[in-house]
Structure 1
Amino acid sequence: MIEILLENFNPENRPFVWLVSAFILAFIIAYQTFPTILYVAKEKHLMDEPDSRSMHSNKTPTLGGIGIFFSIVVVLTIVGAMLNTKVLLLVMGALTILFFLGLKDDLTILSPRKKFIGQLLAALLLIVFTDTRIIGFSKILDVDMLPYWVSIFFTLFVYILIINAYNLIDGVDGLAGSIALLISAVFSVLFYKSGALSLATISVALIGALLAFLRYNFSSGKKIFMGDTGSMIVGFLLAFFTISFISQSQLNTDSQYFRASPALAIAMLFYPLMDTCRIFFIRIFILRKSPFEADRNHVHHRFILYGYTHLQTTLAIVLINFIIIIIAFNMLHLNLNTQIGLLFVYGAVLYYLPFLIKKRLKKSNN
């Protein structure tokens, strides 16, 4: 009976039920995995020691990425036989490379060079074997199609940029997880509407894993951080979603996102990209130091300095990013260069508002 059911079952006939099932499975697996990770981390003293840059004062496990990885891989393994196995297997292979690199970095120390090489290898697996790449600039600054090798190298650059930009925002409770949750939710809807069931399955699996992670990341007594393992895995998946969405849109001239996909991608990743550009500018041109030298000049650190709590900071940043995404979807009729220019303007204004509000409140209280 089970054999007959499997032979006649087609996920594409019931995609919504399929995706809900993948989400529930990912959530349950992750939720049941994190308590074990917490127990082992505490028993083996695998804890993050607070230092001068830390936003927390207690020793905290940084192995949340293990639960996220395990949940996603189990879901993809179970559903892989019924979907695009080539894409799913390559995604799992890339995630496995990043998992072991991140785990080594969380447990000991991994050189930036080795992490960079691992990220390049993981990205190349998807770019070369699935030919999923950014094929052009969609007339940004009048540049359209890119030569093949330029397209490959530019797509690699985008992978590395997004992975590391995402890693840099993992600074306050819930921020990295919540931003990834928002972006994954938008991509899951876009992939579902376009019929890209394999991509939608990966995105809803990530949503399930992140929701379970956030339950513990926001906890006071059972707190866990995603660590480099989690940030590299999640950052890689966000980069994969972004490039897949842009690639699919650019190849489909009938898509309503044919020209607008780069602007929508910028909107969804606005906070990580904006914060990375801002922090690199401050370190290079103002502080005159290496752009890779960690400090507390990120936007989320500014929120804490102005008196916002971790939860308020996370909610404010996620809400602003959500508003920017809504604005982007309402500008599809505009020229792409105009869309991107307006996004930068709206984004700058929206991210300045919380600081302006705090200043006004302090003045009124005085």
Structure 2
Amino acid sequence: MTYISNVFNNLYVLSGIAVLAAYLFSARIYPVIIHLSHKKDLMDEPGERSMHLDKTPTLGGVGLFITFALGIILMSIFTELERSDLVKVLALVGSTILLLFLGLKDDLLVISPKKKFSGQLLASAIVVFASDLRILGMDGVFGVGELPYWISVLFTIFVFILIINAFNLIDGIDGLAGGIGILTSAFFGLYFALNGNAFMALASFLLIGALIGFLVHNFSKEQKLFMGDSGSLFTGFIMAYLAVAFLNLNFLGENLEFPLENAPIIAIAVLSYPMMDVLRVFIIRIREGRSPFSADRNHIHHRFLDLGSSHKMASLTIAVTNLTVIAFALVTQNLYIHFQLFCCLVFGIALYLIPFMLNANKNLEAMEVPLSNEALEVEFEGMYAKARHLNKTVSSDNYSIIEKEKKNRPAKILNTATKKQNDTESYFQKKVLHRLRIFQKVKEKYPKKVPQENS
């Protein structure tokens, strides 16, 4: 009995149990959510910017929250946490409940950005004030050491909102937000486990198990499930929570077995993909005179799809790139902090912008394997969005061609079970690739015009 007791007192064993238990529980709850969504028609309708062709349940965030919240409550009961950690549990669960309902309302009814921002602000403030979880200092970044209390509070809330929205915006293709969430949680969870912080380690690994269970259905064809805003807001919030706790633990540096140098730079590297992507699209939108929260196809994952990648391949490539940036930050952590920051920024930006250095048009023409319905739909929507963007400078005759093509798109493309599927795919593929090639060539020569249809 003593041996068994010692095994279950081992934090690494408990972490493994947390991942397995969360996965097994989520594997049971997601099918129930999918069934309920189909029965009550709580699903996302395909639209002009949709990456999917069929109505799909978007309540994956409900399963993530239930799995994580139940796991962390049970963990609190059986591990006899200290009062300070119990307060953290209550604040964390309370904040995520608020974000869950905020995301559900946005998934089902759609809410304004102002209301969404207000909810994120309140959820972040609850955690900061109730559990005193703040970024205490910057470890010398730009000469800043320990932060005054109110600056620390305001900066922490800003970081929470930034990371929440970054995760919300990268949730555009299957597996991306979930995959980055697993990578981020794994890094922070391992760090907390190595330094004996049981509460934060188990919270990290519980989320990993819940996300693995979600990805099984996110990639499924028969029982497909989307994370939805409820899931992306929830995941982004937990990522921000882990990042701030990581910075605090390393800043205080009390009895750490494996402290890290230049922790703020490493935290930026861990969250580099969502941060890089959201800042990039915000700059593009503001430069074009649009709202930073307006929709478009300028995300990095869209570029991978333009290059012909599947959702799985695009998500895997981005996750591996993020992992490479993390490894680079760890290898260079002993450098002077500002030089390391410069090196990591240059290295990370260069890696993430590689897809934009490749020619998507040549890639499409060289492909021997026909694109899937999904990829073709995405390509058509991208071309159509460009035509709409140029509408003000295009003659009515030219623009009507694109409008006609949009309206006359074969309805059969949405029904992949019909016997005419191959004919439909062939027709759609030829139309889209033909239009893309002409559009690209004419745009390069006459950037203010949309090509007319060749007869």
When the two structures are superposed, what TM-score results if normalisation uses the length of structure 1?
Answer: 0.93
Q: Secondary structure at the match of 2:145?
A: strand
Unpaired runs of 5+ in structure 2? 368-455
- Residues 1:203 and 2:199 are matched in the alignment: no
Q: Aligned partners of 1:210, 1:223: CA distance in 2, in Å?
A: 14
CA contact (8 A) 2:276 2:349 kept: no
Q: Secondary structure at the match of 2:289?
A: coil
Displacement, 1:86? Answer: 2.0
Q: Aligned partners of 2:174, 2:361: CA distance in 1, in Å?
A: 26
Residue equivalent to 1:247: 248
Q: Aligned partners of 2:253, 2:213: CA distance in 1, in Å?
A: 35
CA contact (8 A) 2:307 2:364 kept: no
Q: Aligned partners of 2:179, 2:142: CA distance in 1, in Å?
A: 33
Residue equivalent to 1:23: 19
Q: Aligned partners of 1:316, 1:119: CA distance in 2, in Å?
A: 30
Displacement, 1:109? Answer: 2.0
CA contact (8 A) 1:136 1:144 kept: yes
CA contact (8 A) 1:250 1:259 kept: no
Residue equivalent to 1:261: 263
Q: Aligned partners of 1:358, 1:179: CA distance in 2, in Å?
A: 26
Residue equivalent to 2:237: 236
CA contact (8 A) 2:23 2:212 kept: yes
Q: Aligned partners of 1:16, 1:137: CA distance in 2, in Å?
A: 30
* Percent identical: 42
Residue equivalent to 1:168: 169
Displacement, 1:27? Answer: 0.8
Residue equivalent to 2:114: 113
Q: Secondary structure at the match of 1:278?
A: helix
Residue equivalent to 1:76: 72
Amino acid at match of 2:61: G
- Residues 1:36 and 2:32 are matched in the alignment: yes
Residue equivalent to 2:93: 92
Q: Secondary structure at the match of 1:291?
A: coil
Q: Aligned partners of 2:364, 2:318: CA distance in 1, in Å?
A: 23
Displacement, 1:110? Answer: 2.2
CA contact (8 A) 1:264 1:329 kept: yes
Structure with the greater relative contact order (CA < 8 A, sep ≥ 6): 1 or 2? 1
Residue equivalent to 2:225: 224
Amino acid at match of 2:182: L
CA contact (8 A) 1:64 1:227 kept: yes
Residue equivalent to 1:277: 279
Displacement, 1:118? Answer: 1.8
C-alpha offsets along residues 240-273 of structure 1, whole Å, 9 cap, x if unaligned?
Answer: 0000000111111775646511111111110100
C-alpha offsets along residues 3-27 of structure 1, whole Å, 9 cap, x if unaligned?
Answer: x99xx96898311221222221111
- Relative to structure 2, which stretch is displaced further, 238-247 or 72-81? 72-81
Residue equivalent to 1:331: 332
Amino acid at match of 1:284: I
Q: Aligned partners of 2:201, 2:218: CA distance in 1, in Å?
A: 25
Displacement, 1:352? Answer: 3.1
Residue equivalent to 1:215: 216
Number of residue equivalences: 360
Amino acid at match of 1:283: R
- Relative to structure 2, which stretch is displaced further, 69-78 or 157-166? 69-78
Say if 1:85 and 1:10 are closer, same or farther in 2 by CA, change over 3 A: farther
CA contact (8 A) 1:12 1:197 kept: no
Residue equivalent to 2:47: 51
Q: Aligned partners of 1:78, 1:142: CA distance in 2, in Å?
A: 43
Say if 1:253 and 1:200 are closer, same or farther in 2 by CA, change over 3 A: closer
- Relative to structure 2, which stretch is displaced further, 151-160 or 8-17? 8-17
Q: Aligned partners of 2:148, 2:206: CA distance in 1, in Å?
A: 34
Say if 1:356 and 1:294 are closer, same or farther in 2 by CA, change over 3 A: closer
Say if 1:103 and 1:359 are closer, same or farther in 2 by CA, change over 3 A: closer
Displacement, 1:356? Answer: 4.4
Unpaired runs of 5+ in structure 1? none
CA contact (8 A) 2:261 2:334 kept: no
Residue equivalent to 1:142: 143
Displacement, 1:38? Answer: 0.6
CA contact (8 A) 2:260 2:333 kept: no
C-alpha offsets along residues 48-99 of structure 1, whole Å, 9 cap, x if unaligned?
Answer: 1111111111111100001101101111121112233222222111111111
CA contact (8 A) 1:260 1:336 kept: yes
Segments of 4+ in structure 1 off by > 4 A?
Answer: 8-12, 253-259, 354-366
Say if 1:257 and 1:339 are closer, same or farther in 2 by CA, change over 3 A: farther
Say if 1:106 and 1:10 are closer, same or farther in 2 by CA, change over 3 A: farther
Q: Aligned partners of 1:325, 1:16: CA distance in 2, in Å?
A: 22
- Relative to structure 2, which stretch is displaced further, 273-282 or 350-359? 350-359
C-alpha offsets along residues 303-343 of structure 1, whole Å, 9 cap, x if unaligned?
Answer: 11122211111111001001001111111111111111111
Aligned-residue Cα RMSD (Å) equals: 2.3
Q: Secondary structure at the match of 1:141?
A: helix
Q: Secondary structure at the match of 2:111?
A: coil
Q: Aligned partners of 1:29, 1:335: CA distance in 2, in Å?
A: 45
Q: Aligned partners of 1:234, 1:185: CA distance in 2, in Å?
A: 13
Displacement, 1:138? Answer: 1.6
Amino acid at match of 2:45: E
Q: Aligned partners of 1:363, 1:210: CA distance in 2, in Å?
A: 33
C-alpha offsets along residues 171-211 of structure 1, whole Å, 9 cap, x if unaligned?
Answer: 01101100101100111100101111000111100000000
CA contact (8 A) 1:246 1:262 kept: yes
Displacement, 1:151? Answer: 0.6
Q: Aligned partners of 1:11, 1:63: CA distance in 2, in Å?
A: 37
Displacement, 1:136? Answer: 2.0
C-alpha offsets along residues 150-170 of structure 1, whole Å, 9 cap, x if unaligned?
Answer: 110000000000000110000
Say if 1:360 and 1:298 are closer, same or farther in 2 by CA, change over 3 A: closer
Q: Aligned partners of 2:60, 2:364: CA distance in 1, in Å?
A: 41
Q: Aligned partners of 1:289, 1:157: CA distance in 2, in Å?
A: 22
Q: Aligned partners of 1:289, 1:316: CA distance in 2, in Å?
A: 30
